[in-house]
Amino acid sequence: MVKLRNKKKLFDFINEKLPVPSIDQSEILNSDLSANESALKEIFQNCSDFVLRPIYVFNEIKILLVYIDGLIDTKSLEEVFLKPLMFEGPPKGSGELQTFGNVIEQQLFSSAQVKNVSTLKDLVDGVLKANVGVIIDGEQKALIADMKGFEKRGIDEPQTEVTVRGPRDGFIESIRTNTSLIRRRIRSPKLKFEPFTIGEYSKTDIAIAYIEGIAPNSLIEEVRKRVERIKIDGILESEYIEEFIEDFPFSPFPQIQNTERPDVVTANLLEGRVAIFVDNTPFVLIVPMTFWGGLQAAEDYYERFIYTTFIRMIRFTLLNIAQFLPSIYVALTTYHPGLIPTTLLISVAAAREGVPFPAIIEALIMEIVFEGLREAGIRLPKPIGSAVSIVGALVIGQAAVQAGIVSAPMVIVVATTGIASFAIPRYNFGTAFRMIRMVLLILAGIFGLYGLVLGFIAITIHLVTLRSFGVPYFSPFAPQIFSGLKDVIIRVPKWAYNYRPPQTSGVNKIRIPFGQRPNPGQGREEK
């Protein structure tokens, strides 16, 4: 008995150590249907959603349908394949039953897309991409029929880029729906979508979009190379792609723009940029990106240029307030009180009397509390998130002032800074400025205005040295391109956008022909 037990243990040990033989998926499909069926069962072992459905046509030909339950439209499957094959048989004129694969391939059955595959790997990949595999007994090929039918979200207004005037449709998690939204806006065969598949396990569909002749060939080739060299087990969101292809991964500033608005992608494609679509996410990447592009909103192009210029000036003013106001307050009250007007200085000193912390500690406490309230408002459910953030700010601010922990002027400064930071159109761009604001605050608390100036110089040097796919990040200011200044702080009328941005334009550089400035009197003179 002991010997038998030892032998059993040895046998189990050997079975654990020996590798389980795997099926070579690169092999050509077998003409024997049962062999293909066994191979598929072994590949999809323990997959409860995998379906193998054999059917017979007039009890003479056996056909095996292979699909993933939940990914296909079962109603279409019944109407297109099952009902005709099981009850009606092959259509008249289909020839001999031995060539039955040609019946489906020649679209004698109404399937939108049907293609041949000859290897087990291609069949498995096709089935995993929400297609139906059709294997016919006696043939060394299979058919892949497009019958996608999984649930997906409807096209709604984007939540992260809300506008008063402009289109209301936004991207969803289906890559084919997203590309169709661009096709509706650019109805030209020069709009290209190059397909890629990335992810060893996720097999995520990716498409690189550009307009031939407008986007530079060098930019298209660079994007293609960076995407092709990505090796990863799975892609869950477009940010996975972003981290692999950006130029300076340790910079706080984003070098790749993301958006869920089709009109934003369309406008950038018409300027010569390249868009990267990723399946299972509503956010599309746009390259290259510039500093000034991160401060522009979609609505800037849906209002008259006079209004847009005014709003942009306010936006840039609020950006400077959000970036430098706390640092300037700390530097002046700590090291340079002589620069503050006497009346204001007396008020600030009276308010700070009894506060136990220096101005730098006081500012850091309030900044951290404000950021915590902002983050809590984002993460909590929507019905209570906004209420918690607003009520929390009022209660904590008032209680802190009454307790003498912080001064009232500091609460005003931090609150003004937070409100000004909301004017930055893009969330990731605003996050970068929030990080830098903390650094400037510490420099101002240690070195005063000298530290603030040094920090500003360091940020400027960093911005002018950044590149996004070879394009200077601070262009068209550094290097200065006069034709590109028409759409930075000011926005000229659309009839004055005669040339595309020179840093992203290819062969076709003319965007709007000259001579279209409105001239009401010209029409009367011609008559």
> Element (H or E) spanning 174, and its range?
none
Amino acid at 168: R
Give the tens place of pLDDT for each residue, 488-503: 888 999 998 888 888 8
Identify the band that residue 58 occupies on the pLDDT scale cut at 50, 70 and 90.
Answer: low
Measured between alpha carbons, how far is 315 from 310 in angstroms, rounded to an integer? 9
> DSSP character for 78?
I
On whether the CB atoms of residues 120 and 25 are closer than 8 A, the answer is yes
Average pLDDT score over residue span 50-64: 80
Residues found in the chain: 527
- Ranking 50-54, 93-97, 112-116, 321-325 by mean pLDDT, the lowest is 93-97
Identify the band that residue 86 occupies on the pLDDT scale cut at 50, 70 and 90.
Answer: low
Residue 296: is it exposed, middle or buried by C-beta count within 10 angstroms (0-12/13-18/19+)? buried
Residue in this structure with the two tokens 């092709």, named with its chain if needed: 228
Q: Greater confidence, 387 or 413?
A: 413
User: Does residue 288 have a cis peptide bond before it, meaning omega lies within 30 degrees of 0?
Assistant: yes
Domains of the chain, by residue range, sit at 19-146, 175-300, 303-465
| Sheet containing strand 284-287, strands side by side | 191-198, 204-211, 274-278, 284-287, 257-259
Sign of the C-alpha dihedral computed for residues 240, 245, 248 and 251 taken in this order: negative
Give the tens place of pLDDT for each residue, 142-192: 888 888 877 778 888 888 888 888 899 999 999 999 999 999 999 999 999
Of 185, 171, 184, nearest to 280 by C-alpha is 171
Amino acid at 332: L
Measured between alpha carbons, how far is 117 from 106 in angstroms, rounded to an integer? 15
3-state secondary structure 183-251: HCCCCCCCEEEEEEEECCCCCEEEEEEEEECCECHHHHHHHHHHHHCCCCCCCCCHHHHHHHHCCCCCC
Measured between alpha carbons, how far is 508 from 216 in angstroms, rounded to an integer? 9
Of 162, 439, 115, 430, nearest to 295 by C-alpha is 430
Identify the band that residue 3 occupies on the pLDDT scale cut at 50, 70 and 90.
Answer: very low
Q: What is the mean pLDDT of the chain?
A: 85
Contacts of 334 (CB under 8 A, 6+ apart): 358, 359, 360, 444, 445, 448
Measured between alpha carbons, how far is 428 from 436 in angstroms, rounded to an integer? 13
Which value, to the nearest 10 degrees, does the dihedral of the CA atoms of residues 354, 355, 359, 362 take?
Answer: -170
Amino acid at 422: F
Residue 258 has phi, psi (to 5 degrees) of: -125, 145
Average pLDDT score over residue span 421-428: 89
Amino acid at 356: P
Identify the band that residue 31 occupies on the pLDDT scale cut at 50, 70 and 90.
Answer: confident
For residue 463 the two structure tokens come to 């911005």
Give the residues across from 115 on adjacent strands: 144
Give the residues across from 72 on adjacent strands: 148
On whether the CB atoms of residues 202 and 233 are closer than 8 A, the answer is yes
pLDDT at site 246:
95
> Element (H or E) spanning 133, and its range?
strand 131-136
pLDDT at site 23:
61
pLDDT at site 34:
87
pTM, two decimal places: 0.86
Measured between alpha carbons, how far is 136 from 227 in angstroms, rounded to an integer? 37
Residue 43: is it exposed, middle or buried by C-beta count within 10 angstroms (0-12/13-18/19+)? middle
